[in-house]
Structure 1
């Protein structure tokens, strides 16, 4: 009986050994399979990441295109102001190729520009930044100061006369000045302070030899004078007259 028991134990141990060997073999095969599959799994994951990155880049590109198209569809005001007129209708489709007119008319009432023309004889005296005094027909008692901000480099010929366009920028804090008002401007091309002035009507003779009639006691005398600046109404006297002397104004 003891021998049969020992023989049974041996056979059981051998069977268990075979099971262990079989399980070990299966485990080795699975391990080997996982070892071979791992590089393929990593490669597949890398491809999926590349595809995701490509899709993201494409989405960013499409977003940029949409944002660009949206920016083109927005009409942004170049400055703060008031919409004075609208030239398009709601729902109207516009194209730069087919529509060249402005969409809106925007004005800034706090800053006004006056456009005018200067004769070719005087244009050389006008410089950027020079001060100007503006008089308006609608507001004759109001004087508005401005500055020359533009001088056209090319002249315009009209009836054999050449003129140059200029722009004067002036402030409008109380917004009394309105678009389209008629005005005239005096541009200060030079300035003299504390000088002796006489009316241009009193000046006689020629540009080379100007003279005036000066009242002395009960008579008058002809006197040569040297002139300086003139604003078209008054002229500066550099020599030939003294302050307080009276001159004759010819009757016209």
Structure 2
């Protein structure tokens, strides 16, 4: 029995041994190779901003909904600011008082003018008495004491008249200044009240709402997001290792989840100069040169920024490259010089010819 089965066993071992000796091979040929930097992509409007209230208060009215088209200067919502309303009322009251003090029916200036007229009459009377007493004193009809008393009264009335005129000028200046300040404060309070109406600053669409009518909102809280509806950009996060390879104007090959089995083209339009410390990446933006029929905020996909493209060059799979500088041929190891690399292939600048069979090293 052993003699009959021995040839069969020997043949089986030979065949298995022969299969193990055969190595996977690749015939070198000329192809096109593209070196690229890969990143996930997100589609966003090229203009996008969060709309905040200009003052804290309660949302009196929301005039738009998600998806509404908006234009510059459209009113988006109104905020009822209780404090601003109170401030405006107080400013108006102060203005009325300032106007009344300056030119009302009963005002400080009129009172002073009455006092000045009285002082003027008294000064004239004292003047007449003084000069009359002067003649009498000269004739010896009154004594020195009586003459001195009339002189003092005249001097005193002149001083009072002069002081009242100066007081009128100062009071009029102070009241006018107070009136101007009250007018400015009132105008300023009205301006703050007008700030309650928040207006749009670009043509686009309302993409999101965070608040409802009646809710309180502070100046730090966004109420909605508004952005462009016609122009979109691609946002990419590029690793710091690859960012030095990226340049403005480079082509981006884009595939989107919303458009299966379709490829679109874009170019690099902006490179952020600052590293994001959290993600250790740089943000790169791209604009479509061949864009999909419809775009929406938040569409996601993949993008490859074309760093270099070589046509009709010798290319081999990376799996056949040994230690970055050798390949294995049927005649043994051979040193090669490499060029552009992709994720799966590498260009061979020198050391190999088309048609050469290379093997994978065990």
- Tell me if 1:239 matches 2:350: yes
Cα drift, residue 228 of structure 1? 1.6
- Cα 1:193–1:65 shift into 2, 3 Å: farther
1:90 aligns with one of 194, 208, 213: 213
CA contact (8 A) 1:116 1:166 kept: yes
- Tell me if 1:211 matches 2:327: yes
1:61 aligns with one of 185, 196, 201: 185
Higher helix share: 2
Q: 1:88 and 1:133 mapped to 2: Cα distance? A: 39
CA contact (8 A) 1:200 1:232 kept: no
Query: SS at 2:213's partner residue?
Result: coil
- Tell me if 1:149 matches 2:271: yes
CA contact (8 A) 1:146 1:168 kept: no
Q: 2:283 and 2:228 mapped to 1: Cα distance? A: 16
Residue by residue over 1:144-183, the C-alpha shift from the partner in whole angstroms, topping out at 9 and shown as x without a partner, is: 3142634644255xxxxxxx44433222586733222221
Aligned to 1:170: 286
Aligned to 1:187: 305
Cα drift, residue 124 of structure 1? 1.3
Aligned to 2:3: none
- Cα 1:83–1:200 shift into 2, 3 Å: same
Aligned to 2:59: none
- Tell me if 1:230 matches 2:341: yes
- Cα 1:60–1:250 shift into 2, 3 Å: farther
Q: CA RMSD in A?
A: 4.0
TM-score normalised over the length of structure 2: 0.44
- Cα 1:172–1:89 shift into 2, 3 Å: farther
Cα drift, residue 56 of structure 1? 0.8
TM-score normalised over the length of structure 1: 0.59
- Cα 1:180–1:57 shift into 2, 3 Å: same
CA contact (8 A) 1:210 1:225 kept: yes
Query: SS at 1:105's partner residue?
Result: strand
Cα drift, residue 135 of structure 1? 1.9
Query: SS at 1:90's partner residue?
Result: coil
Q: Which runs of 5+ in 2 are unaligned?
A: 1-120, 129-156
- Cα 1:58–1:225 shift into 2, 3 Å: same
Matched length: 199
2:172 aligns with one of 40, 48, 66: 48
Q: 1:90 and 1:179 mapped to 2: Cα distance? A: 25
Aligned to 2:204: 81
Residue by residue over 1:51-106, the C-alpha shift from the partner in whole angstroms, topping out at 9 and shown as x without a partner, is: 111221233134335534644x3545565431122222234331247xx4x31122
Query: SS at 2:308's partner residue?
Result: coil
Q: Which runs of 5+ in 1 are unaligned?
A: 1-25, 157-163, 214-219
- Cα 1:166–1:81 shift into 2, 3 Å: farther
